[in-house]
Amino acid sequence: MHSERRYTLTLSCPDRVGIVARVAGFFAAHQGWILEASQHADEHNGSYFMRLEVRADSLPFHLAELRERFEPLAAEFGMNWRISDSAIRKRVVVLVSQQEHCLYDLLGRWKSGELDIEIPCVISNHETWRGLVEWHGIPFHHVPVNADDRGRAFAEIERLFTESRADTMVLARFMQILPAALCRRHIGRILNIHHSFLPSFVGAKPYHQAHERGVKLIGATCHYVTEDLDEGPIVEQDVIRIDHSDAVEDLVRYGKDIEKAVLARGLRYHLEDRVLVNGRRTVVFR
């Protein structure tokens, strides 16, 4: 966690000569102190990606004016861009079902200050974790999801998310498939942890599938949610080695540890604006 206030610029645009010089020159012209800079050129599709962190107090104007002054340069290069302010905590709504390990982990990291975020609420299709969540001083919303009224349930979930003024929705083992329309409306804002090293073993019970195939590595994947089930751009992954002596129960236990770590890392990268979507893939500036 950085103590000084920072503005973070992220951008993508068609690749061409002069982007780095013009962006760096823009900040230099205003005495902007660049603390961190990362860039990547994708030669296959001709796209360029950049992330800059600048000391806020080195600039002679505030965020709104910074955005206004940068707009002409962004338009010249056809940039898809945004500038965020480290002084404004990101707001994260967490969705969970019956398995609590990812929820526990996120609440612990939030409580300790490791994740410097606001959690306006936790939403679940079960009542199971109300006591845990409310003990942390966070509002808990029970929204049952039944086969005959899924539309109503997900409309309520989206209403809570919107009214919370949340930036990000995290599916911390929320075992429901989100409607395609909801995914489209919030593209790039919904993170999921999948208990498998995608694209292998998609859908339900991936550890059982892995055990049946006799794999030697199992893993977890943090990815953005899209209308295509378990096929959204991947943010973070990790694996652990297993062998023939491990039962399905062992795989599930090992997997829970990986899931917690991968989700926490993926969420941090997302919150720090280190993830830029590149078609079906991502550019992650660690």
**Paired sense of beta strands 122-124 and 168-171, if any:** unpaired
Q: What Å distances lie between residue 65 and 30, 51, 57, 59, 276, CA to CA?
A: 12, 19, 14, 10, 24
Give the 3-state secondary structure of residue 251: helix
Distance, CA of 196 to CA of 126 (rounded, Å): 24
**193 contacts 222 by C-beta, under 8 angstroms:** yes
CB-CB neighbours of 41 under 10 Å: 12
Give the dihedral sign, CA 61/65/69/70: positive
Q: Name the catalytic one among 57, 85, 105, 230.
A: 230
Distance CA 248, CA 203 (A): 16
Reply yes or no on whether 57 is catalytic.
no
Catalogue the active-site residues: 230
